[in-house]
Amino acid sequence: MKNIVADMKLTDGVLRSFRVARTYRKNLSKVNCVDFSQNGENAVTSSEDDCIVLYDLLEGKPTGTLFSKKYGVDLIRYPHGDLETVVYSSNKLDDTIRYLSLTDNKYIRYFPGHTASVTALSMSPVDATFLSSSFDMTVRFWDLRSQNCQGLTSTQGKPICSFDPEGLIFAAGVESNAVDLYDLRAYDKGPFAHFETKFTRVCDWTRITFSNDGKQILISTNGGEIRVLSAFSGAVLHTFSGYNNSKRLSLEACFTPDSQFVMIGSEDGRVHVWSTENGMKVAVLDGKHPGPISSLQFNPRYMTFVSACTSTTFWLPWFDDSQM
């Protein structure tokens, strides 16, 4: 994958041209989460078989596997500007969040406090802080330099959460029917905006994320529909469906870095792509996944994305004369 491209404009045609570049079968079970480093040169995955797999994208190869057999590993994130550590939540033993050095495979810090499974981890895009949400109906604010929770807000139901691209505001999706927006500097005063939005299908919200331009909010669900809202008014901009999810799996949707497209994997192993400008589907890409695509992320710096089931697949655009 040494030919990954930066600074190329995404278009409908470029997205339709994406092909599988490499597929790695480093896991025996489902990949739970994938994350790119901020510079786009590294990726990390977590999986149900308690593995953390590291990838060097410039070299185009996996560079190591770490294990979390005692605690399990669910959600995983690179901190802001850091390639050598990760923060992850567990799916065994307890609900403590862990801060791990990738260079010597030692824990730097533990973040105890949640009393139920963590539903979201969101790293600040500007500093060494992060958010977590949990089935214990709290959203917690942390600083990597301290094990103590820096702030907590209780929600009126099960939350998911995410920072905005400037790290000043965070969104909490609450009880799968409302989005609350908080000012990080005054979160203890409660949300400054509240948007209710109901899907036509019964579903649980599984992930909430802002577009990079800060204008849109994407809600992933387990119900065969995803939705894009205005980050300013809460108005429904688009509702996307037509991808397979009959088993009500938690499938991850994402924006492309230019905020112009939304992507999601499906139960049948294909990737569906829509335009956020006109709401039209622009591509369906078949990566020959042997199972449902549980994780999907677009690289923040380079023209590549990753989709994962039990295997992890990296994609690149296929260039021809019409695209030059």
- Residues 252-297: tens digit of each pLDDT: 999 999 999 999 999 999 999 999 999 999 999 999 999 999 999 9
Which of 13, 270, 18, 142 has its CA nearest to residue 5?
A: 18
Query: Is pLDDT at 8 greater than 90 in this prediction?
Result: no
| pLDDT for the residue numbered 6 | 64
CATH number at residue 40: 2.130.10.10
Binned at pLDDT 50, 70 and 90, residue 7 comes out as: low
Binned at pLDDT 50, 70 and 90, residue 217 comes out as: very high
Mean pLDDT, range 207-234, rounded to an integer: 97
Q: Which residues contact 223 (CB under 8 A, 6 or more apart)?
A: 199, 201, 202, 203, 204, 245, 248
Query: Is pLDDT at 197 greater than 50 in this prediction?
Result: yes
CA distance 302 to 10: 11
Residue 7 falls inside a structural domain: no
Amino acid code (one letter) for 121:
L
**pLDDT digits over 115-140, tens only?**
999 999 999 999 999 999 999 999 99
Binned at pLDDT 50, 70 and 90, residue 204 comes out as: very high
Could you give the percent of the chain with pLDDT greater than 70? 96
Question: What is the number of structural domains in the chain?
Answer: 1
Could you give the percent of the chain with pLDDT greater than 90? 94
Residue 18 falls inside a structural domain: yes
| pLDDT for the residue numbered 111 | 98
| pLDDT for the residue numbered 321 | 43
The boundaries of the domain holding residue 311 are 14-317
Residue 322 falls inside a structural domain: no
Mean pLDDT, range 36-54, rounded to an integer: 97
**pLDDT digits over 127-181, tens only?**
999 999 999 999 999 999 999 999 999 999 999 999 999 999 999 999 999 999 9
Query: Is pLDDT at 86 greater than 90 in this prediction?
Result: yes
Residue 8 falls inside a structural domain: no
Mean pLDDT, range 289-309, rounded to an integer: 96
Residue 324 falls inside a structural domain: no
Binned at pLDDT 50, 70 and 90, residue 95 comes out as: very high
Query: Is pLDDT at 1 greater than 80 in this prediction?
Result: no
Residue that has been written with the tokens 């989005």 in this structure: 179
Long-range CB contacts (< 8 A, 24+ apart) of 88-91?
88/46, 88/52, 88/121, 89/117, 89/118, 89/121, 89/132, 90/118, 91/32, 91/48, 91/117
Residue environment code for 235-258, b if the CB has 16+ CB neighbours within 10 A, otherwise e: eebbbbeebbbeeebbbbbbbbbe
CA distance 181 to 170: 6
Binned at pLDDT 50, 70 and 90, residue 323 comes out as: very low
List strands edge to edge, sheet with 18-24: 18-24, 312-317, 305-308, 295-298
Query: Is pLDDT at 3 greater than 80 in this prediction?
Result: no
Mean pLDDT, range 289-312, rounded to an integer: 96
Residue 153 falls inside a structural domain: yes
Query: Is pLDDT at 46 greater than 60 in this prediction?
Result: yes
Mean pLDDT, range 31-42, rounded to an integer: 97
DSSP bridge pairs for 97 = 111
Query: Is pLDDT at 53 greater than 50 in this prediction?
Result: yes
Residue 4 falls inside a structural domain: no
Residue 5 falls inside a structural domain: no
The pLDDT mean for the chain works out to 95
